[in-house]
């Protein structure tokens, strides 16, 4: 169970690390939905590391919670892909164009964010020539993560 917990923490850390690296070193600007999609991985890292340190029976249930957490992340990614494909509007108000209100030009400029926000319906493609946005890749990764962890848990449960 400890090895499964460690692999789960590494898998979640990889996804989060790739997202952070693409932002900081790749110069990609995340949208509000992109930032929301990172939270399940943070929670999964914490749950997996706790599962690594606790007794086997408790670790099992923490890893089940990890599966559910990554499923929530997959749901966030699914919503984001739908927003990118213009199937539905973003559920987050941060994804809409900013409203600078009224007042003088100087007041409006003062209200503008220091870093421009990326619209949630504008997909970011990480790999040139491959028409998969980062949100779509996150959805695929999350589903593979869920499947692998579920299979690992099922095998460990059967042998226990």
For the domain 2-92+103-159, what is the CATH code? 1.20.1550
User: Distance between CA atoms of 5 and 56, rounded to whole angstroms?
Assistant: 10
Report CA Rg, the chain.
19
pLDDT at residue 102 in the model: 60
The string of pLDDT tens digits covering residues 98-146 is: 555 566 666 655 655 555 567 888 888 878 888 888 899 999 999 999 9
Share of the chain above pLDDT 90, in %: 50
Higher pLDDT, 90 or 147: 147
Per-residue tokens: 105: 């030009």
């Amino acid at each position: 169970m400890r090895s499964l917990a460690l692999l789960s923490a590494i898998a979640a850390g990889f996804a989060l690390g790739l997202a952070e690296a693409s932002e900081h070193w790749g110069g990609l600007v995340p949208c509000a939905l992109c930032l929301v999609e990172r939270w399940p991985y943070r929670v999964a890292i914490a749950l997996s590391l706790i599962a690594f340190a606790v007794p086997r029976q408790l670790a099992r249930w923490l890893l089940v919670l990890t599966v559910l957490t990554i499923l929530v992340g997959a749901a966030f990614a699914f919503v984001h892909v739908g927003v990118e494909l213009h199937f539905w509007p973003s559920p987050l108000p941060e994804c809409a164009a900013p409203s600078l209100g009224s007042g003088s030009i100087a007041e409006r400029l003062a209200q503008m964010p220091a870093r421009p926000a990326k619209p949630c319906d504008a997909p970011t493609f990480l790999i040139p020539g491959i028409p998969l946005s980062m949100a779509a890749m996150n959805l695929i990764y999350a589903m593979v993560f869920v499947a692998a962890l579920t299979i690992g848990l099922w095998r460990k449960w059967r042998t226990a």
